Amino acid sequence: MAQGKTPPTQKTEAQLREDRLKAALKSNMARRKAQSRVRSAQVDDKNKGQNSSDEESR
């Protein structure tokens, strides 16, 4: 007896293209998010050093 599984269907070219675009967008967003985290951490480190020297000069 069948377990209620449906046979695999063929995806159209448009569906395949959409799937590729979704995957590319997802990886691009993940990469940008990681870059943003690194940049903000670098800016925070620089600001910490500048803030302490600014306070000393006042």
Q: What is the pLDDT of residues 12-46, one digit of tens each?
A: 999 999 999 999 999 999 999 999 999 999 888 88
Q: Which pTM value belongs to this model?
A: 0.56
3 state SS of 5: coil
Query: What per-residue string of b and e applies to 5-17 under the rule 16 or more CB within 10 Å gives b?
Result: eeeeeeeeeeeee
Q: Between 51 and 9, name the one with better pLDDT.
A: 9
Asked if residues 19 and 11 have their Cβ atoms less than 8 Å apart, the reply is yes
- How many angstroms separate the CA atoms of 34 and 38, rounded? 6
Q: Between 42 and 52, name the one with better pLDDT.
A: 42
